[in-house]
């Protein structure tokens, strides 16, 4: 690796110049009691960055590295690490692993060799590496790194029971584009079931209860394991006589009924459910509401976007889709999400409510429907205003008050990305804009009214967020914080910081645009007399 293009580690936080025009990121961190400095190009691979920090820690590939930010939270070691200063340095630790005794599967080396050979032949023919081969190579490299660092498995818990038995016995497979949807689902199912008996570490269980949890570090099967943890740690299996196998079937079917679209996918479902889980713990709702209400909220969060097509209610109604016709233009998507949820629950092998009385089932079904329908943003002001009226005299024993709170909690969880650390939240905005732009493109093609905030010709990244944060998130989060003051530091302050971040970005963007316009006007006229 050339020093001019690769990452650089300097002992004692020294300075190393880079080549001209090189965009670099500077990371300060403590390791072995010393302040160190690392520099790497923004286009470096994750493997290069991890190798850089391994060199700094003076450890071998079989060691597990953990990086903590200045707050003491675990962060992902990747090119997305935020640049910092010596005053806000990270802390790097190496954890010895005995997995170096596990040999790399020979099939993996063989696959890598065949891919390199194929790449060489293709380059000879067409002069460049096709995207498909590049993607396959990236997946193989990613899988090798995962086996070497055991990053995910070490967090999930390397051992079952007393810690003397390695699990899982079969290496996890990298996802391949050749798999059909059904094959991919079955791959995830087998992986989930194999991992479901692993003991999730206390560190992960505690992170899972906070808004700083980083969803981008986890694969689908791992997220299913973490969802199982949420249901078990809230004691739902005992309280509602839920069999573990039935819970696993239910979670897997929920996963299968989320579509592979940019934003409203299974990962979004996991984030919303994880935020709901975190809010339950942070606000001590376990001692304020009954376990039935907690089950309603968590399961509503899990099911709130089932089978989302990637086009919102306005599109459904304007395009007169089957969903809009079926539900008479009244919250067509949210009604559909509810119907899909109870379609899954209608199967005995997936019915986590099957051991409840008919009255309990009716209460939970009614509560879930109310909570999921509340996620229709067309009803936002109605629900928020009702909560504002109740909030000063809120009574946790009043059924109506509890119902409004449950709706608010699901709504907050649904649109809570900006309450997360910026490195977690910002990629979600990119996903959302991609889905928005897909809709506006389709609206233009079909001659439908174009949704203004989704038009790629009119919307910028910062402008899409500033008004949403100012007029939707802040009023909603502020009202909830009045009832639960502890949430100010956990969700309200991060949202305020997000507003500052996107406001600064919007201001800078306008200044650049004005400068470009001034330069254009200052140019002498060309052509003609």
Q: Which residues are catalytic?
A: 264
Phi and psi for 351 in degrees, rounded to 5? -85, 95
Residue pair 385/272 in contact (Cβ under 8 Å)? The answer is no
For 96, 106, 260, 296, 305, the CA distances from 100, given in Å and listed in that order, are: 10, 15, 36, 45, 42
Give the total residue count for the chain. Answer: 529
For 14, other C-beta atoms within 10 Å of its C-beta total 10
CA distance 281 to 55: 39
For 225, 402, 457, 521, 529, the CA distances from 511, given in Å and listed in that order, are: 47, 48, 19, 15, 33
Beta pairing class for 24-31 and 90-95: parallel
Q: How many CA atoms lie within 13 A of 133 on its CB side?
A: 15
Q: How many CA atoms lie within 13 A of 254 on its CB side?
A: 32
CA distance 58 to 31: 10
Q: Name 260's Cβ contacts closer than 8 Å, sequence gap at least 6.
A: 181
Residue pair 196/248 in contact (Cβ under 8 Å)? The answer is yes
Q: Name 192's Cβ contacts closer than 8 Å, sequence gap at least 6.
A: 220, 221, 224, 225, 248, 251, 252
CA distance 362 to 345: 13
Q: Which residue is associated with the tokens 């009604």?
A: 335
Q: Name 61's Cβ contacts closer than 8 Å, sequence gap at least 6.
A: 54, 100, 148, 149
Our separate counts of H helices and E strands in the chain read 22, 8
CA angle 21, 25, 28 (to 5 degrees): 140
Residue pair 335/301 in contact (Cβ under 8 Å)? The answer is no
What is the radius of gyration, based on Cα positions, of the chain?
A: 25
Q: Which two tokens stand for residue 163?
A: 């810690």
Residue pair 226/202 in contact (Cβ under 8 Å)? The answer is no
**Terminus-to-terminus CA distance in the chain, angstroms?**
57
Q: Is 75 helix (H, G, I), strand (E, B) or coil?
A: strand
CA distance 437 to 420: 24
Q: Which one-letter DSSP state was computed for residue 435?
A: H
Q: How many CA atoms lie within 13 A of 101 on its CB side?
A: 4
């Amino acid at each position: 690796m050339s020093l001019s293009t690769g990452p650089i580690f300097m002992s004692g936080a020294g300075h190393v110049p880079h080549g001209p025009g090189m965009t670099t990121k500077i990371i300060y961190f403590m390791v072995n009691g010393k302040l160190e400095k690392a520099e790497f190009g923004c286009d470096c691979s994750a493997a290069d960055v991890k190798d850089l920090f391994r060199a700094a820690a003076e450890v071998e590939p079989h060691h597990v590295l953990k990086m903590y930010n200045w707050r003491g939270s675990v962060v992902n070691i990747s090119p997305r690490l935020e640049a910092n200063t010596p005053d806000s340095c990270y802390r790097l630790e190496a954890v010895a692993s005995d997995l170096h005794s596990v040999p790399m599967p020979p099939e993996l080396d063989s696959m890598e060799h065949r891919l390199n050979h194929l790449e060489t032949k293709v380059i000879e023919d067409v002069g460049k590496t096709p995207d498909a081969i590049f993607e396959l190579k990236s997946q193989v490299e990613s899988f090798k790194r995962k086996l070497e660092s055991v990053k995910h498995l070490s967090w999930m818990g390397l051992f079952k029971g007393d810690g003397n038995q390695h699990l899982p016995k079969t290496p996890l497979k990298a996802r391949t584009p050749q798999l059909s949807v059904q094959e991919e689902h079955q791959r995830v199912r087998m992986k989930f079931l194999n991992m479901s008996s692993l003991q999730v570490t206390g560190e992960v269980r505690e992170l899972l209860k906070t808004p700083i949890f980083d969803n981008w570090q986890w694969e689908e099967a791992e997220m299913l394991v973490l969802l199982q943890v949420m249901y078990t740690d809230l004691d739902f299996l005992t309280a509602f006589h839920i069999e573990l196998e039935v819970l696993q079937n239910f979670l897997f079917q929920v996963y299968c009924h989320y579509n592979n679209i940019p934003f409203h996918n299974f990962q979004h479902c996991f984030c919303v459910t994880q935020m709901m889980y975190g809010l339950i713990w942070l606000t001590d709702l376990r001692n304020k509401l009954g376990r039935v209400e907690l089950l309603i909220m968590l399961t509503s969060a899990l099911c709130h976007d089932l089978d989302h097509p990637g086009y919102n209610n306005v599109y459904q109604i304007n395009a007169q889709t089957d969903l809009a016709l079926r539900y008479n233009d009244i919250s067509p998507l949210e009604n559909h999400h509810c119907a899909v949820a109870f379609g899954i629950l209608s199967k005995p092998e997936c019915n986590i409510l099957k051991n409840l009385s008919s009255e309990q089932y009716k209460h939970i079904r009614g509560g879930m429907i109310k909570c999921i329908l509340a996620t229709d943003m067309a009803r936002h002001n109605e629900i928020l205003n009702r909560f504002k009226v109740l909030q000063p005299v809120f009574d946790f024993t009043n059924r109506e008050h509890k119902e409004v709170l449950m709706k608010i909690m699901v709504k907050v969880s649904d649109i809570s990305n900006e309450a997360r650390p910026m490195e977690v939240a910002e990629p979600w905005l990119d996903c959302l804009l991609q889905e928005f732009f897909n809709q506006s493109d389709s609206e233009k093609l079909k001659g439908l009214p174009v949704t203004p905030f989704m038009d790629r010709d009119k919307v910028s990244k910062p402008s899409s967020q500033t008004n949403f944060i100012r007029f939707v998130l802040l009023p909603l989060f502020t009202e909830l914080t009045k009832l639960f003051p502890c949430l100010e530091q956990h969700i309200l302050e991060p949202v305020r910081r997000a507003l500052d971040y996107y406001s600064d970005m919007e201001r800078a963007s306008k200044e650049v645009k004005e400068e470009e316009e001034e330069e254009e006007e200052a140019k002498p006229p060309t052509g003609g007399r």
